[in-house]
Amino acid sequence: MCGISCIIDKNQTIDESVLSRFTDCIGHRGPDSRGVAKFANSSGFPETSQRNFPVGLGHRRLSIIDLSEAGSQPMFSTDRNFVIVFNGEIYNYLEIRKELEKEGIVFNSHTDTEVILEAYRKWGGQCLSKFNGMWAFAILDRQKRKLFVSRDRIGVKPLYYYRNGGIIAFASEIKQFFELPGFKKDPNIDACLSYLVTGYEMPPETFFKGVMSFPPGCFAETDLDSPEVKPEEFWTAEKISIGKYGEDEIISRIGEIFSASVNFRLRSDVPVGGCLSGGLDSSAIFVEMKHLQPSHTFNAFSACFDDPGIDERKFMKRVINSTGSRQIQVFPNEKDFIADMPDFFRQHDEPVGSISMYAQYKIMQAARREKIPVLLDGQGGDELFSGYWPAYFLMLKDFYRSKNFISILSHSAGTFFGGNTGLLSQAYSHLSEYRRRDARALPFTISGKYMGRLEEIKTLKWHRDAQNLTPCEYRKAEIFRIHLPRLLKWEDRNSMAFSIESRVPFLDVNLVELLLSVNPEMNMRKGWTKYLFRKAMDSKLPKDICWRKDKKGFETPQEKWMKSGVLNNYLVNWASEKEHPVSEFIADNFQDVKTKIIDGSFDATRMFRLFCMDYWLRSQF
């Protein structure tokens, strides 16, 4: 896990100091070493010591595989024609390496980076189909004067690009573009409006005008003499069709592939630990880690709270005791949040969705303190196995629309006969929350000059449009459009803030492709969400975790913090300030906002978005 940088300037006006700043401002992503390479504009793009240059590559390294100098980047191929900068991990690199060695290829390191480079030399862009991992990389072909860039299938690793005149730049984080001459930090108005009203973002657009997120599952080949960025798909979920499986067959395959996925992600030359929340997904990963390496004592990192409504320590303890692991607990609080706020928000570059992201930030900080640079995390399990409550109710609605009343009966009334009655007990609160979302109940009013613009923003219609999606369409939307992309982005920034590599076994390509070929109905039985995964882990997980009837997200006491104590006082002082950049977007007088904060008559989720957007605008522009 590292940070990459690439600058193309056909006018040769980029200065070496710009490339250095462009690379070093993300030193937190790779504290172990750094490297840059500059190339002159002549046949074969020779390396140059000139101060100005047309092509520059930079890299900050976090050493995980092959800790020696042989793994330094930018890395050159044996013939020196190809040069790579790479962020991520190719988990099946050993298998690909063996295949290449049979073809007579000799390696100079034990890194997955060199495997990518030699695979590209051998197979060109077709090499992407062989990779199982998370990645963002750029490969310079000096003879053909082309740059090949790619991002992994799900978008676990970030990659951004920006164009201005004759300059095209690729980066791991948006803050890198601030170092480019002529870069203007203008907010993307539509992204700001979308975030304020829904909390959702608008990939491939970012919150910065002109900065784009490179699409997952894509590559682009850029001609250095006439540079353009035109992403092309090498993988898409749309090509995966629903298959016919017996329940026992699919449960067995899920168990096998999940185990293989965790095993791949234990490959490391540095210590590996795990994030443990007490929920099904993180618990399953931790139990599988112990199952695969029974003699090893793993470190579990957990965010804990004394609030009874979200206290998961009894479930964490069950996993710790059953695996003989060591647990490191952190207790995020509102005082620390206020103190850490400048660093936390600066790290993310863009507004975040809630204070729960701060809890994850503190977990990563603890892992760095304990010198555990790799953590396995449960991100993606809910999206893959239809674990969120809307998926269940939309499935019932789809049955109703197709007049499939037998399925409605078996999936709803059947909860009383060996099913999860907890889903029914939570149905009212779930549906009430949905109505609040659909009504866009905000603690503020959007400015009249932007009201007409709102209807043109696709994400604003998401909750309404979702009602007409089939279960398969909704699952793909959760994974590729709405929920998962922003969760992965936030996790990357939190982990990289402390030079931690976060690995997500649920997003292994083999598991993703398998589950996308399974009818979502199979994941939901008699009120049980994630039914297939529960069955697959039934013999390994403690029963009270595997078959929990309630579901708690990764939460903090956000509402409690915001409505009382020091954070409430902080918000009152914030609302009392004279200048608020977010006033550009809202019609309310901030005195009214202050009144709501004082009397507690606000929705904490939506008020946080208002505060976060104001803070972001103030600090960035």
* Under 8 Å between Cβ of 23 and 5: yes
Tell me the CB-side half-sphere exposure of residue 202, using CA atoms within 13 A. 24
- CA neighbor of 272 nearest in space, from 100, 474, 505, 458: 505
> Residue 38 and residue 52: Cα distance in Å, rounded?
9
| Percent helix, strand and coil across the chain, each to the nearest 5 | 50, 15, 35
* C-alpha distances in Å from residue 205, one per residue of 151, 192, 316, 460: 16, 11, 38, 15
Instruction: Collect contacts of 31-34 with beta carbons under 8 A, ≥24 apart.
Output: 31/60, 31/62, 31/499, 32/61, 32/62, 32/63, 32/67, 33/60, 33/61, 33/63, 33/69, 33/72, 34/58, 34/59, 34/60, 34/61
The answer to whether residue 2 is catalytic is yes
Amino acid identity at 184: K
Q: What distance in Å separates the CA atoms of residue 572 and residue 594, rounded to the nearest whole number?
A: 6
Alpha-carbon distance 79 to 76, whole Å? 8
Catalytic entry in 2, 192, 275, 612: 2
Residues found in the chain: 621
Give dist(CA 605, CA 197) in Å, integer: 11
Q: Which of 555, 483, 438 is nearest to 197 (CA)?
A: 438
One DSSP character per residue, 50-92 reads -SEESEEEEEEE---S--SGGG-SSEE-TTSSEEEEEEEEETT
Task: Check if the beta carbon of residue 23 is closer than 8 Å to that of residue 179.
Answer: no
Q: How far apart are CA 213 and CA 201, in angstroms?
A: 11
Residues linked to residue 206 through DSSP beta bridges, in sequence order:
none
Supply the residues annotated as catalytic.
2
